[in-house]
Amino acid sequence: MGLKLASSFAVLFLFGLIYAVVFTIGIWFLPNDLFGLFLMVAFTILIVLFQYGISPLIIRWIYRIDWITYEDFTFQFPHLADAVNKVVEYEGIRTPKMGIIHDLNPNAFTFGWTKNSARLVVTDGILHYLNKKEQKAVVAHELGHIVHSDFILMTVVFAIPLILLTIARWSYYAARFSGSSRRSRDSDSGNYIGLALIAIAAISYIAYYIGYLVSLLISRIREYYADQHSAEITNNPNDLSTALIKIAYGLLVSGSTEEMHEKRKSPVRALRGLGIFEPNKSGLISTQTIIGLDGQISKKAVEAAAGWDLFNPWAKYFQLFSTHPLPAKRIQRLNKECEIYGVPVEYDLSGAKKIKEEQAGKSMLDEFLVDLTIKNLPWLIFFILLGLTIIQILGMVGLFSWQIPLFYSNFILFWALGFFAIGIGVIARAYFKYRTGFEFNNIVELVSNIKVSPIRTVPTIIEGRIVGRGIPGYYFSEDLFFQDSTGLMYIDYRYGLPFVDFFWAITKAKRLVGQNVRIKGWYRRGPNPYIQVDTIETESGRRFRNYAKHMAYIFSGLFFAIGMFLFYLWFTAL
């Protein structure tokens, strides 16, 4: 469900690189006329078809998937086979090949060329954390993608913006190259052609951006259709809703108050004896806010977790650029279908607004704007400096009446001070993102925080077990998946240098799976909840540091160094 995007990341990166190489070669060697444009569009379509043809093979290569015969699948998971048989018989399609990824990160995805060549994969986490009804609902969702031919549809949908991008880039470079040749001929008609090409480039790029957003919207709609298919197969939309709560929010709490206290006495608690951190708050919030009287996840806990999706402005920001609807939106859509099947809604999310107002008041727009400013602060400073420079240059050549009180020789000093300002902006952003004041928490406490964002973080310490990779089955996943006594959480190991992340993924990450750990880091919400690592400590005393925060300060030092160099040039020129 959430893995389809992750499973295609490496494929998209590879074919993005191929597209860039082909486009560069085309710009240099193909004629910059309509025939050249036709060839580049044809090459783009060929790349898309090539990606469509080879992507399933690459996914099979880069993921560790245990393929099983359908007879074994039927014997081991008869309840899931029942869903598959029902769809295969009704739709008249070939039975998909079944695979299992041995990783406790709960996820599922499907891939292939057509509905008759599909492969359906689930992880051990789906089989371990979800009950049989929820497992069946997840498989039925993935079968929905197969019977709706989403492989083909989404390939076409995402190809259209790529073609528009090709037209935009080709028109831009054609205008540049034709401009060079026009200067030697001084042709008025050539000037008109150049202006027309620039106009086509601008319109095509705008159309590309709009088309890209539309393609993401269509992808989200296809997810809703797959959810609807799941409800039709199971005759109960609640099954997929509760599965989403476990998969997307990681809420697994169940049991009596006594059982909760026993869970908190897990062997991992012994880590506190190491003396690295001292707990200064209880790791167990009121049991009534976590579990209901029936021993299931309480309505209040789910509503608090869903409150971020429904009311935090960051949720709307991420939704716009996401291939999947936010979990709370999907649950609300599934709830509307409960009446069709004559079943009561299990989690209606009606109290989410009240919880949001208790935590954050009526509006969170002011905090969102502050977060957005802090997130882009170095770039904002840079563009302000660039804009002031352009104004000054236009004023010097007489195209702009107002000038900044700077002389030409002061431009070096201006940009020297500018790079100092950018460095300060980087430090301010890092200080805001990597706060101190670490306290012990559990997963439910973190996920219930509606005010958190990618910038506005919660410094936290959690204890539990690493149960899988961040992307299950992916050989090069540097991220991890964590479980404590209350739920599951994605762990983001972000060192700051890609080659270090790659080395960590192939040498260290796998060894941590199955180990009890204490993690110190910053809880963020992406659209999905996650913790960015500062330190991972195992029961044996091994410590793994992450220096993403320190890398931010190093980059600020580079900006200061550039500023110092420019200041030196200005000073020596006096």
Catalytic residues: 142
Q: Which residue's structure tokens are 């470079």? A: 173
8 Å CB contact between 164 and 206? no
- Number of Cβ within 10 Å of residue 120's Cβ equals 22
Distance CA 58, CA 10 (A): 9
8 Å CB contact between 449 and 568? no
Q: Is 573 exposed, middle or buried (0-12, 13-18, 19+ CB in 10 A)?
A: exposed
The amino acid present at 292, given as its one-letter code, is: G
Closest by Cα among 304, 566, 257 to 443 = 304
Dihedral over alpha carbons 346, 350, 352, 354 (to 10 degrees): -140
Instruction: Report the DSSP beta bridge partners of residue 516.
Output: 465
Distance CA 238, CA 137 (A): 9
Distance CA 423, CA 556 (A): 4
Rounded to the nearest 5 percent, the helix, strand and coil shares of the chain are 60, 10, 25
| ∠ Cα 396 386 198 (to 5°) | 85
DSSP string, 233-293: HHS-HHHHHHHHHHHHS-B---S-HHHHHHHTTSGGGGGGGG-SS---S-S---HHHHB-T
Q: Do you know the residue count of the chain?
A: 574
User: Quick one: residue 361, left, alpha or beta (phi over 0 = left, psi -120 to 50 = alpha)?
Assistant: left
Sheet holding 119-123, edge to edge: 66-68, 97-101, 119-123, 108-111
Residue 351 sits at φ, ψ, to 5 deg, of -90, 5
Residue 487 DSSP code: B
* Sign of the four-CA dihedral 277, 278, 283, 285: negative
The amino acid present at 166, given as its one-letter code, is: T
Distance CA 151, CA 145 (A): 8
Instruction: Report the DSSP beta bridge partners of residue 523.
Output: 458, 531
- Number of Cβ within 10 Å of residue 193's Cβ equals 17
